[in-house]
Amino acid sequence: MRILVLGGTGWLSHEIAVTAVARQHAVTCVARRADIPDGARSVSADRDRDDALASVATEHWDAVIDVARQPGHVRRAVRDLAPVVDRYLFVSTASVYADHAIPGADESAERLSPLAAEVMNGLEDYGAAKVAGEDAVLAGFGTERTLIVRPGLIGGPGDPTGRTDYWPWRFAHPAVQGAVLVPEAPELPTSVIDVRDLAAWLVSCAERSVVGVFNAQGPAVPFPEHLDVARQAAVSDARPVSAPGGWLLERGVNEWAGPRSLPLWLADPSWYGMNTRSTDRARAAGLTTRPLIDTLRDALAWRELQPDSINRGAGLTDAEERELLAALAGPAA
């Protein structure tokens, strides 16, 4: 197949291109940078420009796979590619949904209103921007030629956010001998879809002309179990030391992601449905996911090889971890 990847230099889109090349497809990647996988062809373009896709719009493509976040990027790609591309595969997000409280919700759940602007103001527009992207693709390609995939948290080797490698890394490198600070969240469901499983399924959907709208998440795993799998992946005998959520929030510890955070933690139960969306439709269409321990083990192995392994982008620093564990133990400790 002739596959056009809009991206190819980042994380998921790079993995998609790697997978498609490995399956003997003719792959062209469009991005500003050129560090695309061996065996793919690079077209340098800045999608902020109106004519970014002019050169590739002169060729026929069996499928385009797009990971864009900006509505303008998607609208212009649809405008330019609808005449020359058979099918449009758009990587959207579970953040398009208006409500994250209901466990097991399927793809018919209500979405946010689409962002009218061409460019997001900030991350607060992310879900609405992706809704706008979905709508643009459906308007230009129709339901018969459109695949929309809404992943939950993507994880594994190469995670640029540092979220999914944090827990195995922390268990492998406790800042305090034998102890790892964790939030008390016994009911919190987590879910991680391995970047390699998602990429493999997307390419196989292109091969099989699968169309429709699909949630794509890993199985829901209770947070304490996720932490135990991370501990096993790290082959660590450190024990988790739980701190109440309110206590952590009072001390400026962030949920979910970013600096001074405990990654994947959600304090507010009205977000718990985000990690338990129904993936029945995707699984019926061939999505398979590897065991969580494989994802976390490989994420840790990758992170250990990075020169900036101390600057992870998410989680607590050693100093923050030591300070918080000492405060939790109290003055007598």
Ligand X SMILES: NC(=O)c1ccc[n+]([C@@H]2O[C@H](COP(=O)([O-])OP(=O)(O)OC[C@H]3O[C@@H](n4cnc5c(N)ncnc54)[C@H](OP(=O)(O)O)[C@@H]3O)[C@@H](O)[C@H]2O)c1
**Contacting positions for ligand X (CB under 6 A):** 7-14, 31-33, 45-48, 67, 69, 91, 93, 151, 153-154
From 150, 142, 117, 154, select the one nearest 132 (Cα to Cα): 117
What DSSP character marks residue 65? Answer: E
Q: Which residue has the tokens 């420009």?
A: 49
Side-chain-facing half-sphere of 174: CA atoms under 13 Å = 19
Least distance to ligand X from the beta carbon of 275, Å?
12
When the beta carbons of 238 and 285 are compared against ligand X, the nearer one is: 285
Distance CA 294, CA 190 (A): 16
- The dihedral region occupied by 81, where left means phi > 0, alpha psi between -120 and 50, and beta the remainder, is alpha
Least distance to ligand X from the beta carbon of 89, Å?
11
Least distance to ligand X from the beta carbon of 325, Å?
28
Least distance to ligand X from the beta carbon of 250, Å?
28
When the beta carbons of 66 and 321 are compared against ligand X, the nearer one is: 66
When the beta carbons of 133 and 174 are compared against ligand X, the nearer one is: 133
Distance CA 176, CA 173 (A): 9
When the beta carbons of 46 and 51 are compared against ligand X, the nearer one is: 46
Residue least distant from ligand X (Cβ): 10
Distance CA 104, CA 278 (A): 5
Least distance to ligand X from the beta carbon of 233, Å?
19
Amino acid at 290: R
When the beta carbons of 181 and 287 are compared against ligand X, the nearer one is: 287
